[in-house]
Structure 1
Amino acid sequence: MSHLDISVVICVYTEDRWEDILAAVDSVRRQSRPAAETLLVVDHNPALLERLGEEVGANTTPGEEVRVLANAGPRGLSAGRNTGVAAARGEIVAFLDDDAVAERDWLRYFAEAYEDPRVMAVGGRTVPAWASGRRPHWFPEEFDWVVGCTYRGLPPGRVRVRNVLGGNASFRTSAFEVVGGFATGIGRDGDKRPLGCEETELCIRLTRALPDAVLLIDDRSVIHHKVPAARERFGYFRTRAYAEGLSKALVARSVGMGKGLESERRYTTRVLPAGVARGLRDAALGRPGGAGRAGAIVAGVAAAAGGYVLGTLRARRGGATFSVPGPAPRPGPAAGAGRPRAREEAP
C-alpha cells in the first residue's frame, strides 16, 4: 500500500452544524489508514473559528494533529478548499463535507489507488442519509447529485472518470502545483444559491495540463452525507437543478463545451430517459412514487437547461465571472516541526 501521507480537509461555516462537524472529525480519527493531519477551514466565522480552536484541541490525542484555519480567501467553498490545500503537508489531500461521516476504510481505498503514479485524483461513493429516514418516494436516484451524493448512472467499481465529486474526493498535492486551485465564482460562495461544479472545472483543467493523468472513482471509499429535511423538498430540488445549469455554463465557458458537457450528454441522452421509463413503468405497476420520479426527472432537466441558457447569456455579456488561483504555495520544511496538536492559525 502507498505510504504517502494524506491530509484531510473539512471546510466548515456555521455553528448550526457543530455536532455534524465533530462527527466528521471523529470519522477521520477512526480510519483504518490514519490521516497524517486533519485541517478544519472556517469560512469567515470568527466565533466558530475560536470555538473549534479551543474545543477540538482539548480532545486531541497524542500523535494526532488537527489544525483549525481561517479561510484565507473570499467567502465560499472553493477558497476554503484552496486554503486547506496551501496549508496541507501530505502528498495527498482528501476532502470531506462537514455534514458527512466516512466509513472506516475510506482513506485506505484512496491510498491504494495512488500506488499508480499516473493517478492524480480519486473520488468515492457518497450515500445519502435522509433526515426523514428514507428517500422521498418522488426523488429519483438519477438526481442524487442534487443533494451531493452519488447518482444512478455512474459506473460501479474502480473506474476512470472525467471528474471526481468534491465532497468525497482526493488529489495529489502536486496537481495543485501544476494547475492552481479551485475556481472561485463557480461553486458555493456563501450566498443562498446552491451552486456547484468547481471540482468538474478543476479536473478538466488538470487533465488538459497533464494529458496522461488518471482520475478515478472507487465506490468502496464510502461516506454518508446528511440530507436535511429542507433538501428533501421539491422546491430545493428545482432550485439546485437550476443552479447546476448556471454553474455548467461557467464551466463550459472555461474549458469549452466539448469537455465541459461531455459526461452530461451521455447522462441526458441515456441515463435520464431510462429513468423516466422506469418511473412510468413503476406507475403502471402501481408502485408508489413512479409518476413523481418521472415527472421530477423532466422538471429537473428543464430547470437545469433554463439555468444553462441564462448562465450562457450572462457569461457572454460579461455578467458572470470567476477566477482561477495560481499554483498553491507549499509549506516549508519547518512547517511540520513541533509536537502535533490542534491549534488555531491565522492565514
Structure 2
Amino acid sequence: MSVSVVICAYTLDRWDQLTLAMTSVSDQGVGDETILVIDHNDELLRRAQARWPEARVLANTGKQGLSGARNTALQVADGEIVAFLDDDAVAEPGWLRTLVDGFIAPSVVAVGGSAVPLWPGDAPAVLPEELLWIVGCSYRGLPTRPGPVRNVMGCSMAFRRDPLLAVGGFNTDTGRVGKLPIGCEETEVCIKLRQLDPTHTVRYEPSARVRHHVSPDRTRMAYVAHRSWCEGISKAGIARTVGRQDALSAESAYASRVLPAALWRELRRGPQGAPAATAILLSLLLAGAGFLRGSIAPVRAGSPRRSLTGRTLA
C-alpha cells in the first residue's frame, strides 16, 4: 500500500522539535511522501519550504486549527494509508512500518501507536502513569498488546484515506486550535468510522512508538486542572455528534476502575503520594464538571469568542 506521512505545525517556537520530527520520518525507510502542513503562519511556511524542499510543504487551506490542517493534507495525499505524527513527537525506528503492518485486514480502517513522554526534567509528581493522556502520551489503562480499541491517539496514528474522507475527515469544530487543549477529534472520527460500517475496526499497535516532548508548563498542577476541564468539554462535544454511549464507552471503565485504584495506591504512599493523589482526584472532578458544562453550553474550538475555559479561542 502507498503511504503518506503528515505532520502539522503552527508555531516557530517548536522549530527544533519539528526538525527532529521530520528527520525521524525520513529515517523510517518506508513511506512514499511526507506532507508538512503549516497552520496559518506565513513566516513558518516560508522557512519550512526552504528547509525541506523534498517534502510537500503546504499552507492550511481550511479552518485554522489542527483538524483543518490535517484535512488539508488528507485532500492532497497520494497514499492509500495516511499516517499522522505530531510536530513535537519523534518517531522511533520501525514506527511507520508497524503502523502500516497493522492494516492486516480490509476491515481495519485505523491503526494507532503508543507515545512515551520526553520530560523537560525529572518526571513530575503530579502526573502518575494514569494521567499521561494529559500530555498526549500512553497511560496506564490502555491495552498492553496489539488488538482492537475504540480510538487512536493523535500523535501517532494512521488511517485508510478513502474511509476517512467518507466520514468528512476531522471535525474542525472539535480540533485543537493553537495551545487551547479542546480536541478529541481523533476519538470522534474513529467512532464515526465504525458507525459508518460496523465491520470497521480500529487497531492498537503499542510497538509503533513515538517520543512526545512535554513542555515545562504542562508539568504543573494548573495544567492538569485546565486540561482535564477541557477534556470534559471536548467529550461533551463529541457526545452530541456521535451519541453519549459511544463517546463515553472507554471513559466509564477508566473513571470507575483505573482512577480509583490509582488514587488508593497513591494515598497508601502517604505524603509522597499526595501530589499524584491530588492530581488524580482533581482531574476526575474537573473532567466531570467540564462535561456537564459542555453539555449545557456547547463550545466550538474555532470560535473567536471566549470559551468556557475562560480563555479567548484563536
Q: TM-score range by the shorter chain?
A: over 0.9
The Cα shift of 1:321 comes to 4.7
Give, as a single letter, the amino acid of the residue that structure 1 aligns with 2:4.
S
TM-score normalized with structure 1 length: 0.85
Question: Which of 135, 144, 147 is the matching residue for 1:147?
Answer: 135
Alignment pair present for 1:43 and 2:44? no
Indicate the residue corresponding to 2:294 in structure 1: 311
Distance in structure 2 (CA, Å) of the matches to 1:31 and 1:83: 23
2:281 corresponds, among 298, 301, 308, to 298
Residues 173-197 of structure 1 show CA distances to partners (whole Å, capped at 9, x for unaligned) of 011232111001212123x521120
Aligned counterpart, 1:77: 66
Distance, in Å, in 2 between the alignment partners of 1:54 and 1:30 is 20
Q: Distance in 2 between matches of 1:228 and 1:123?
A: 23
Q: Return the alpha-carbon distance in structure 2 between the equivalents of residues 282 and 218 of structure 1.
A: 33
Match of 2:260 in 1: 273
Is 1:26 the counterpart of 2:13 in the alignment?
Answer: no
How many residue pairs were aligned? 302
- Does structure 2 conserve the Cα–Cα contact (< 8 Å) formed by 1:5 and 1:36? yes
- Residue by residue over 1:280-306, the C-alpha shift from the partner in whole angstroms, topping out at 9 and shown as x without a partner, is 1222xx7x3x12211111000111111
Q: Are positions 1:253 and 2:237 aligned together?
A: no
Alignment of 1:3-152 (within 5 A): 4-32=1-29, 34-57=30-53, 60=54, 66-132=55-121, 134-152=122-140
* Cα drift, residue 277 of structure 1: 1.2
Contact 1:183 1:322 in 2 (8 A): no
1:221 and 2:208 aligned? yes
Runs (5+) with no aligned partner, structure 2: 303-314
- TM-superposition CA deviations, 1:251-270 (whole Å, max 9, x none): 11111111011110000001
Return the alpha-carbon distance in structure 2 between the equivalents of residues 244 and 176 of structure 1: 23
Alpha-carbon offset, residue 138 of structure 1:
2.7
Contact 2:177 2:301 in 1 (8 A): no
Partner letter of residue 161 of structure 1?
A: V
User: 1:278 offset after TM fit, Å?
Assistant: 1.2
Among the aligned pairs, what percent are the same residue?
45
Q: Is the contact between residue 187 and residue 247 of structure 1 (CA under 8 Å) also seen in structure 2?
A: no
Distance in 1 of aligned mates of 2:125 and 2:134: 15
Q: Is the 8 A contact 2:176 2:301 kept in 1?
A: no
Partner Cα distance (1:275, 1:301) in 2: 12
Greater displacement, 13-22 / 217-226: 13-22
1:210 to 197, 204, 215: 197
In structure 1, the partner of 2:151 is 163
Corresponding residue of 2:165: 177
Structure 2 length normalisation: TM-score? 0.93
Amino acid at match of 2:130: E
**1:11 offset after TM fit, Å?**
0.4
Flag the structure with more relative contact order, 1 or 2, with Cα contacts below 8 A and sequence separation at least 6. Answer: 1
| AA of the residue aligned to 1:8 | V
What's 2:311 paired with? none
Task: Provide the C-alpha distance between the structure 1 equivalents of 2:140 and 2:254, rounded to a whole number of angstroms.
Answer: 10
Q: Deviations over 1:54-107 (max 9, x none)?
A: 1212xx4xxxxx100100111100000001111110010001000110001001
SS at match of 1:68: strand
Q: Deviations over 1:16-63 (max 9, x none)?
A: 11111111010001114x111110000000111111111212xx4xxx
Shift >2 Å, 4+ stretches = 320-323
Q: 1:200, 1:86 → 2: CA distance?
A: 20
Higher Cα Rg, which structure: 1
Q: Secondary structure at the match of 2:52?
A: helix
